[in-house]
Amino acid sequence: MANKKDYYEVLGVSQDASGDDIKKAYRKLAVRYHPDKNPNDPEAAEKFREATEAYEILKDDAKRKQYDQFGHAAFDGSSGGFGGGFGDGFSGMDLSDALKAFMGDFGGDSFLGDIFGSSYAGKRKKHGTVSRGKNVQIKLPLTLKEMHDGVVKIIKIRHKIECEQCGASGSKSGVYKNCPQCSGSGRSRKVVQSVFGQMVQETVCHRCAGTGKAVDDPCNACAGTGVVSGEDKIEVKIPAGVSEGNYITVEGKGDKGVNNGDSGDLVVIVIEKDDSIFTRHGIDLITEMEISFSEAALGCERMIETFSDKIKVKVSAGTQTGKVMKIAGRGMPILHNEKTKGDILIKIYVKTPENLSKEEKKLFEELQLLEQKPKSFFHKIMNLGQ
């Protein structure tokens, strides 16, 4: 607690910042440091967590006042009874709390727009009715090469599609009438008792599932719903630089809504397939290279196949096992900034020879003799060799 940062400092706002300024400042930080955008980056995750914790306190007028007056002590319960004001007190957030809080404050949609630059968030609100079909979520395994290059995939899914028989109307004749239950409003009201007294609660009409429509002559193929199970082929463009856990939303390609409601979205979640050569670490690619005793001692050249080209790697004479060689700028690209790439890191392993042939054994024995000679002489031989 003692070395917790000042919440205003964390968000980069002044003490008299307006609620709006605080929200803007937080949103900017949260989007920049969100773990989806910074995979395998504990520093970014910590910044995200810190900013979210600060925002959760400062966005709330009452909590902000407490904080202004008592600092962090207002929430840690150690200051003698103040923590009680907020239930169990507030001893800080962990990352999963922070992710939940962020989703609660901004939702997934607005964030999606930021990652993939789509106008998804804006379009979403037009049709608020429950007749909208469900979002369909699928996992899409990709090779590192596909993630490096970007790729267009055709995805086959089975989901709710429009009933062709009735043109999604659900009615044989194609004629709707107003739902008799809700008179076409799609909502039903009921009065409930609560601690605040009587309240009117509005819910979705059960009879028409919120569409406000009813049919007298239901279609046989879809039992009047306007949707049937079917197969769809959907093209999904994956940008270069995605990583596991990123998701891409294809608007209107989820389940078709009943009674000709809007379709939900298809949410494609990226999964990384194992690669036989490289292991991914953020935007860097790590691989291992085995070289022989003589190659380690004398130096050697090897060709390495990257995802974009072949590169000659020069191993210098006297290389030890465990040495890491770096090829800058040939790793994975950064999402939406694909010209900038991470590095390739090559870990060198010097292989000790086994099952020596007669000739090899002889050579090693000769080498051993040389090594046992006085040092000055040994050095001389090495120098001659160079």
**DSSP β-bridge partners for residue 200:** 191
Smaller CB separation from Zn ion, 123 or 177 = 177
Smaller CB separation from Zn ion, 77 or 210 = 210
**130 touching Zn ion, by CB under 5 A:** no
- Residue 262 Cβ, how far from Zn ion at the closest point, in Å? 17
**99 touching Zn ion, by CB under 5 A:** no
Smaller CB separation from Zn ion, 92 or 218 = 218
Smaller CB separation from Zn ion, 113 or 186 = 186
**172 touching Zn ion, by CB under 5 A:** no
Query: Which alpha helices (H) appear in the chain, and where do they start and end?
Result: 7-11, 19-33, 42-58, 61-70, 73-76, 95-116, 120-124, 144-149, 293-298, 358-372, 375-385
Query: Which alpha helices (H) appear in 156-309, and where do they start and end?
Result: 293-298
- Which of 11, 112, 115, 179 is close enough to bind Zn ion by CB under 5 A? 179
Segment 188-207, which members bind Zn ion (CB under 5 A)?
Answer: 205, 207
DSSP state for residue 170 in the 8-state scheme: S
Smaller CB separation from Zn ion, 218 or 282 = 218
Nearest CA-CA partner of 208 in 235, 185, 234, 233 = 185
- Which of 38, 79, 181, 287 is close enough to bind Zn ion by CB under 5 A? 181
**258 touching Zn ion, by CB under 5 A:** no
Contact window for Zn ion (CB under 5 A) among 175-183, 231-239, 249-257, 333-341: 175-183
What type of residue is 290? Answer: E
Smaller CB separation from Zn ion, 243 or 259 = 259
- Residue 205 Cβ, how far from Zn ion at the closest point, in Å? 3
Q: List b or e across 217-237, with b for residues whose CB sees 16 or more CB atoms inside 10 angstroms.
A: ebbebbebbbbbeeebebebe
- Residue 62 Cβ, how far from Zn ion at the closest point, in Å? 41
- Residue 267 Cβ, how far from Zn ion at the closest point, in Å? 26
- Residue 190 Cβ, how far from Zn ion at the closest point, in Å? 14
- Residue 159 Cβ, how far from Zn ion at the closest point, in Å? 16
Side-chain half-sphere exposure of 230, counting CA atoms within 13 A: 17
**182 touching Zn ion, by CB under 5 A:** yes
Number of helices and strands in the chain (H, E): 11, 17
**163 touching Zn ion, by CB under 5 A:** yes
- Cα 286 to Cα 250, 278, 281, 283, 306: the distances in Å are 32, 5, 7, 10, 11
Side-chain half-sphere exposure of 131, counting CA atoms within 13 A: 25
Site size toward Zn ion, by CB under 5 A: 12
d(C-alpha 208, C-alpha 186), whole Å: 7
Contact window for Zn ion (CB under 5 A) among 18-26, 45-53, 164-172, 361-369: 164-172
Q: Are 156 and 221 in contact (CB under 8 A)?
A: no
**Binding pattern to Zn ion, positions 338-377, x when CB under 5 A?**
----------------------------------------
Q: In what order do the strands lie in the sheet with 266-272?
A: 136-142, 266-272, 247-250
Q: Are 277 and 336 in contact (CB under 8 A)?
A: no
Smaller CB separation from Zn ion, 35 or 212 = 212
Smaller CB separation from Zn ion, 91 or 220 = 220
- Residue 173 Cβ, how far from Zn ion at the closest point, in Å? 11
**219 touching Zn ion, by CB under 5 A:** yes
Side-chain half-sphere exposure of 272, counting CA atoms within 13 A: 20
Smaller CB separation from Zn ion, 208 or 332 = 208
- Residues within the interface to Zn ion (CB under 5 A): 163, 165-166, 179, 181-182, 205, 207-208, 219, 221-222
